[in-house]
Chain A
Amino acid sequence: MANFTPISAAIGGALIGLAAVLLMLFNGRIAGVSGITDGLFNPRTDDRLWRAAFVVGLIAAPLAAALVGHAIPMPQMPANYGLIAVAGLLVGFGTRLGNGCTSGHGICGIARLSPRSITATMVFMIAAVIVVALMRHVIGG
């Protein structure tokens, strides 16, 4: 566990939880990034302004960190753009069909003790663990 960073993980996680509570307290909304993002593009939504603001805040955070000298490293992405596109499509379609992602189900939903969200989180965790095992230890191994 050479790369285990429990303290920064706890601080960062607490901030994510705090953001979820504040968004409910201020605007009465669940802080699910897939739902918020979808609503920006879904032809049936009519409340794009607060959604756009949340997304702008999300993108502004790494920029602000860079300004005070903590630039985040360039994310390591696969070289294969086809694979990236397939992954993106699956994440987009899957989070709408399943109605949430790591934030909406994994944080907000489980925090409400929602059986739906607990189930969804278990399913996407298990699916991701299996895919990583296959990619790294079977195909890549």
Chain B
Amino acid sequence: MPVLASLLCGFIFGLGLVISQMVSPTKVLAFLDFLGIPSGTWDPSLAIVMAAGLAVAGIGYAVVRRRTPIFDTQMRWPTATAIDRPLIIGAALFGIGWGLVGLCPGPAVANLATLSPGVIVFVIAMVVGMVAFDLWQPRAAAPIESALASAKAADG
């Protein structure tokens, strides 16, 4: 049952990406292009997607927060609170990659359905980047201790 529930959640998430057109890198880049505001080519749709998603998730999380999950023993809320260098540097690197192509992980994975060669290359490179971090992390010493600590309580 937890696997079916997860499948359903992934499907609903994917439908949200399809309906909002956030699967389209063109649409995402049109939002990120703030210099298009004066000429009228800016597309604020992504902001509406986030606002609607936050409204539902914010209210929904507040409602379910103190419950025990239906198919698990506890809710795994992230516990990390430090605003540290790994968080900032990691977010900046991610933002650069996102801006280069217009794909973040959700839409990239959903777009595998199109069998687009470019998307397949992107997802393979993304997974290589993730595994490179996973392999590098446990061997690294003091400087990324905080990265390790926060990874145990992954935000997302």
Contacts and interface: CB of A to CB of B under 8 A. Distances in A.
Nearest to B4: A53
A2 to B, nearest CB: 7
Nearest to B129: A92
Contacts of A57: 6-14
Contacts of B113: 59-63, 66, 72
Interface in B104-147: 104-106, 108-114, 116, 118-119, 121-135, 137, 147
A105 B92 CA distance: 13
Given A8-B19, A33-B109, A74 B114 contact: yes
The 5 A-B pairs of least Cβ separation, nearest first, read A104-B156, A32-B156, A98-B90, A12-B20, A92-B129
Contact of B156 (A11, A90, A99): A99
A62 B130 contact: no
Nearest to A60: B11
Interface string A63-91: 11110001011111110010111111111
Given A21-B61, A72-B114, A60 B94 contact: no
A24 B7 CA distance: 13
- Contact-size category for A: 35 or more
Interface size range of chain B in the complex: 35 or more
Give the dominant DSSP class at B's interface.
helix
B43 A72 contact: no
Interface in A90-109: 90-109
Interface of B: 2-27, 29-30, 32-35, 40-46, 48-58, 60-61, 63-64, 67-78, 80-83, 86-101, 103-106, 108-114, 116, 118-119, 121-135, 137, 147, 150-151, 154-156
B156 A101 contact: yes
B47 to A, nearest CB: 8
A53 B10 contact: yes
15 contacts: A13-B49, A27-B69, A41-B131, A72-B111, A76-B24, A88-B128, A89-B132, A90-B129, A94-B92, A98-B90, A107-B57, A116-B78, A119-B91, A120-B155, A128-B32
Given A35-B154, A88-B121, A25 B6 contact: no
B156 A26 contact: no
Interface in A1-34: 1-6, 8-34
